[in-house]
Structure 1
Amino acid sequence: MFQSLRYPIFLVLSFFALASVATAESEQSKEQLLIQRMGYYQQYSNPSVPWYFLAAVDKYERNIQQVRNDLKKREGPIALQFSDAFWVGDLNPVKNDRLSSAISFFGGNGMDGSGDGKADLENNDDLMLTLSNYLIKYGHSENDFKKALKDYYVRDEAVRQIMIIAQIYQHFETLDLDQHAFPLPVGNDYSYRSTWGSSRGWGGRRMHEGTDLYASYGVPVRSTTYGVIEVMGWNDFGGWRIGIRDIHNTYHYFAHLSHFNKGVKEGHIVEPGMIIGYVGSSGYGKKGTSGKFPPHLHYGMYKFNGRIEWAYDPFPSLKHWEIEDRKAM
């Protein structure tokens, strides 16, 4: 009997062993990638262009590539992409010119960071030197950085999101900011299910853009992410609400709070698990309205793709974060 079970047991154990190794290798490769990425940022930073400015632009480019079908997804440590016109110069007749001397002659921005005499759009060193040099031309202040971003990206929202990413990187002094937390302490009583797309009637017919987590009044509400408190105050629909923007161009929306944590203010930087408020039933009316529905946290997630921002279902993320928090108990 035991002889017949030997091979299945061996195979099962081997499967879990391989899965553990794969997970460890994945974590190791991620760590190595972040180290490599930071190496580029530090190498091409200078007193006028700190590393977190370079990191923020590169991160923004990576973010929009992940959610846009019209953009090439650049693999590897650096995600920067530039248009041919920006790279070689508007008047350059050779639109795919890679000769750095010719690019310079025609007023292009592409530079040779690797020392091979070419300014290559696929070379990480060339991309990083080009970005750093472009930013240096504008000056060394934060306003100069904003002006450089505005001239390149045009959209104010793109500039604002990049500035937030830079602010977060500067504060935490690391690129490893992908950890998250479930918005309610998992030791408390609560319940939730997927209600994405359900109809809502107050204020006009609309769809439900989030997940409702039901809990008792006063249960702590926690930040789910590293980010900046972008919005904080009253909204007739959401009542007392807080909006947090993270480094992934994602806006995290916490609504129907009873009150805020006194220690947090608009513009503050937060991290996963930090208490930002408490469960309530505020909203659906003028300022101070409460009690029109059972106490719960409405949690929503919105993604900016460089052009528009849209809501998406937060339920899968919530389930994942809940599992991870329970494992850590």
Structure 2
Amino acid sequence: MVISLSAQTLTYGAETNQEEDEKKLMSLYTKVEAITNIPWYVLAAVDQYERNVRHSRKDIPKAEGLIEIFIKPEVWAGPLNPNKEDKNPRSIGLFGGIGEDGDGDDLAELTNDEDVLYSFANYLRSYGTDMENLKIGLWDYYQRDKTVGIILGHMKLYKKFGHLNLAQHSFPVPLNHNYSYKNTWGDARGWGGRRIHEGTDIFANYGVPVKSTCYGVIEMKGWNRFGGWRVGIRDIDNTYHYFAHLNGFADGLQTGQIVEPGQLIGSVGSSGYGPPGTSGKFPPHLHYGLYKDNGRTEWSFDPFPHLKSWERAERQKKK
């Protein structure tokens, strides 16, 4: 299965103009922020998380509008409401549903962008508007620590950069260095037990710089007996970028840090296959892997076509 990591982070049910859609989304986020005091970047982070979940699963219907926050009909209308398609805000409220009228037409519609965003913001507001209480509200809604962590990472990115277009990518090593790679995803590996190779190996000399491939937040940094010194970065697409067998890390690099495409994160090495500090058991190379989270689980997918695309795009820029 090929997972899209194109330059279009925001993808919708129909072919639309990305820039216009981003303007409309930002307008919705800031409008609801003004009414509810829930920061726009919180709403954007939840919406983006849900957008990526919807596009990686088949058990959730496609969104009919720009807002892709999925609220189950029984949660919207109320668990004891006999009418799961209820659009009356008053009866919905009586049955404990979270659906509300966001655009002033006296209807609470699951297919209405303003109604959905306003209702979810009001749900969060019931916990409070400070970050600690917002975290509690998110956990109560999703009941999954990883989901809350991913959304918090999205929040950090949107808050720092102040806009929605964070889909750019970079090839992980500089093009002016000698390197080589081929598609090795899925090949057999034997050290530590039989397993498949969940990534692409980019062979290069010791010390060749390793760059972030995306806008993201560092989720993991340290030693792994398989990957040696490694870094894990979560991007705005709920995708985890894994860099392993490093020779070392960039100065000051730490978990929770925001990085940008092309930012130095470490250098090529041959660490791993043993206790901390083990090195030299194989030729120096960068192991680069991609993992997708769909709200339930996370799985590896082939990074090779994306590496080729990013490499090609960078070469075009240099011409």
Please tell me the TM-score bracket, short chain as reference.
Answer: over 0.9
Structure 1 position 93 matched with structure 2 position 79: no
Distance 1:96 1:287 in 2: 57
Describe the shift of the 1:27–1:219 C-alpha distance in structure 2 as closer, same or farther (beyond 3 A).
Answer: farther
What is the letter of the counterpart of residue 173 of structure 1? G
The answer for unaligned runs of 5 or more in structure 1 is 1-25
**Deviations for 1:169-199, whole angstroms, at most 9, x for unmatched residues?**
1111110000000000112111000001111
Determine the structure 1 residue equivalent to 2:20.
32
Q: CA deviation at 1:263?
A: 3.1
Point out which structure has higher relative CO (alpha carbons under 8 A, 6+ apart): 2
Q: CA deviation at 1:91?
A: 2.0
Greater shift in the superposed pair: 101-110 or 194-203: 101-110
Task: Calculate the aligned-residue CA RMSD, in Å.
Answer: 1.5
Kindly tell me the number of residue pairs found equivalent between the two proteins: 304
Counterpart contact for 1:34–1:77, Cα < 8 Å: no
SS in structure 2 opposite 1:45?
A: helix
Q: What TM-score comes out, normalization by structure 2 length?
A: 0.93
Describe the shift of the 1:27–1:221 C-alpha distance in structure 2 as closer, same or farther (beyond 3 A).
Answer: farther
Determine the structure 1 residue equivalent to 2:29.
41
Counterpart contact for 1:218–1:279, Cα < 8 Å: yes
Counterpart contact for 2:64–2:111, Cα < 8 Å: no
Determine the structure 2 residue equivalent to 1:305.
294
Matches within 5 A, 1:262-277: 262-277=251-266
List 4+ stretches of structure 1 deviating above 4 A: none
Structure 1 position 166 matched with structure 2 position 149: no
SS in structure 1 opposite 2:55?
A: helix
**Deviations for 1:271-325, whole angstroms, at most 9, x for unmatched residues?**
0000000001111111111111111000000001000000000001100000111
Q: Which has the higher helix share?
A: 1
Structure 1 position 214 matched with structure 2 position 200: no
Describe the shift of the 1:105–1:169 C-alpha distance in structure 2 as closer, same or farther (beyond 3 A).
Answer: same
Aligned counterpart in structure 1 of residue 42 of structure 2, from 46, 53, 57: 53
If you compute each CA radius of gyration, which structure gives the higher value, 1 or 2? 1
Determine the structure 2 residue equivalent to 1:20.
none
Aligned counterpart in structure 2 of residue 286 of structure 1, from 250, 275, 278: 275
Distance 1:93 1:222 in 2: 55
Counterpart contact for 2:173–2:209, Cα < 8 Å: yes
Greater shift in the superposed pair: 243-252 or 99-108: 99-108
Distance 2:252 2:169 in 1: 20
Q: CA deviation at 1:48?
A: 3.6
Matches within 5 A, 1:13-162: 29-46=17-34, 48-162=37-151
Q: What TM-score comes out, normalization by structure 1 length?
A: 0.90
Distance 1:57 1:284 in 2: 38
SS in structure 1 opposite 2:17?
A: helix
Aligned counterpart in structure 2 of residue 177 of structure 1, from 166, 182, 199: 166
